[in-house]
Amino acid sequence: MASDGVQIQIPKLTKENFGNWCIQMKSLFGSQDLWEIVNDGYTEPTPDQERGYNQNQKEVLRVTRRRDKKALFQLYQALDEVTFERIAEATSAKQAWDTLSIIFKEEEKVKRIRLQQLRGEFEVATMKETENIFNYFSRILVIVNQLKRNGEKIDDVRVVEKILRSLTPRFEHIVVAIEEANDVDTLSINALMGKLQVHEQKKQNKIEAVNTEQILPSKVDAKDQKGNDQGQSQAF
């Protein structure tokens, strides 16, 4: 869009950038002497009132209407199809601007409430005794992804620290080893999961080995007992 030979780039409104978008649009409107018409609006005269205007008043009204439509068109240019439909009935730039403010401020309130809920879920989450590493990581990452979609900035370090302090006691030794190696600041979430899964598998292998050692003597004893019983039966 060009104005006085200068190409104007209209900033696009998204679900995440309403605050910054308002600042940019106010600056854009101000540079064209349009902000007053957007912020304050103007009173549209009735047909009878307009017929009673003198030539100067009619010229002022014509310029005012033109400025209002110019600002309204620039607002339209900033919107996607879905958002445009929500202000399509607006008849002035002020009405469109006020409608957008109401819509996005309400959505911001909903987002803040949802963020508070998700932050709480993230902070109180702990690994269950019956849970394995893969399932616990999956549960945490669902919350992390929802936080990010709602505008929360959350890096790997924060997630890694959260996971390390919320594991069950059976991971205590590997957690201490990771912290003593100063890996927390550089360790990715996937790398942490890999380390913990290796530790988990080693633990599981030891448990299975112990169980096998306990089962084998029992089988031998049972076999010997069966042989003794058969020998006694034959003796009779």
Of 83, 109, 135, the position where a domain reaches its end is 109
- Does this model's pTM top 0.75? My answer is no
Of 82, 109, 136, the position where a domain reaches its end is 109
Q: Is the pLDDT reported for residue 224 higher than 70? A: no
Check whether residue 97 and residue 167 sit in a common domain.
no
pLDDT digits (tens, 9 = 90+) for 26-48: 999 999 999 999 999 999 999 99
Q: Which two tokens stand for residue 141?
A: 């990452």
Is the separation of the CB atoms in 104 and 82 below 8 Å? no
What one-character-per-residue DSSP string does 113-176 give?
HHHHHHHHHHHH----TT--HHHHHHHHHHHHHHHHHTT----HHHHHHHHHTTS-GGGHHHHH
Which pLDDT score is estimated for 215?
64
In a domain, 103, yes or no: yes
Check whether residue 167 and residue 228 sit in a common domain.
yes
Residues 6+ apart with CB under 8 A from 189: 137, 141, 156, 159, 160, 163
Check whether residue 134 and residue 228 sit in a common domain.
yes
Check whether residue 136 and residue 197 sit in a common domain.
yes
Range of the domain at 222: 127-235
Check whether residue 92 and residue 150 sit in a common domain.
no
DSSP alpha helix (H) spans, the chain: 18-31, 35-40, 47-51, 55-77, 81-87, 93-124, 133-149, 156-164, 172-180, 189-235
pLDDT digits (tens, 9 = 90+) for 174-214: 999 998 887 788 899 999 999 999 999 998 888 777 777 66
In a domain, 9, yes or no: yes
Compute the distance between CA of residue 219 and CA of residue 71 in angstroms, rounded to an integer: 88
Between residues 166 and 224, which one has the greater pLDDT?
166
Which pLDDT score is estimated for 145?
94
Check whether residue 137 and residue 221 sit in a common domain.
yes
Which pLDDT score is estimated for 230?
56
User: Residue 12: pLDDT band by 50, 70, 90 thresholds?
Assistant: very high
User: Residue 108: pLDDT band by 50, 70, 90 thresholds?
Assistant: confident
In a domain, 118, yes or no: no
Q: Is the pLDDT reported for residue 156 higher than 60? A: yes
Which pLDDT score is estimated for 225?
57
In a domain, 120, yes or no: no
Which pLDDT score is estimated for 217?
61
Q: What is the mean pLDDT of residues 18-30?
A: 94
Which pLDDT score is estimated for 111?
84
Which residue bears the tokens 């919350």?
Answer: 143
In a domain, 117, yes or no: no
Which pLDDT score is estimated for 233?
52
Which pLDDT score is estimated for 164?
95
Check whether residue 73 and residue 28 sit in a common domain.
yes
- CA dihedral sign of residues 43, 46, 49, 50: positive
Beta bridge partners of 2: 7
Compute the distance between CA of residue 44 and CA of residue 99 in angstroms, rounded to an integer: 19
Phi-psi category of residue 11: left, alpha or beta, with phi > 0 → left and psi -120 to 50 → alpha: beta
Written as one letter, the residue type at 50 is E
Domain count of the fold of the chain? 2
Is the separation of the CB atoms in 68 and 93 below 8 Å? yes
Compute the distance between CA of residue 70 and CA of residue 28 in angstroms, rounded to an integer: 12
Q: Which of 26, 27, 22, 28 is closest to 8 using CA atoms?
A: 28
Q: 47-51, 170-174, 224-228: lowest mean pLDDT where? A: 224-228
Of 54, 75, 109, the position where a domain reaches its end is 109
Which pLDDT score is estimated for 93?
97
In a domain, 231, yes or no: yes
Check whether residue 39 and residue 100 sit in a common domain.
yes
Check whether residue 33 and residue 93 sit in a common domain.
yes
Percentage with pLDDT > 70 across the chain = 87
In a domain, 89, yes or no: yes
Check whether residue 105 and residue 136 sit in a common domain.
no
In a domain, 121, yes or no: no
Check whether residue 96 and residue 131 sit in a common domain.
no
Which pLDDT score is estimated for 150?
81
Check whether residue 151 and residue 177 sit in a common domain.
yes
Which pLDDT score is estimated for 234?
53
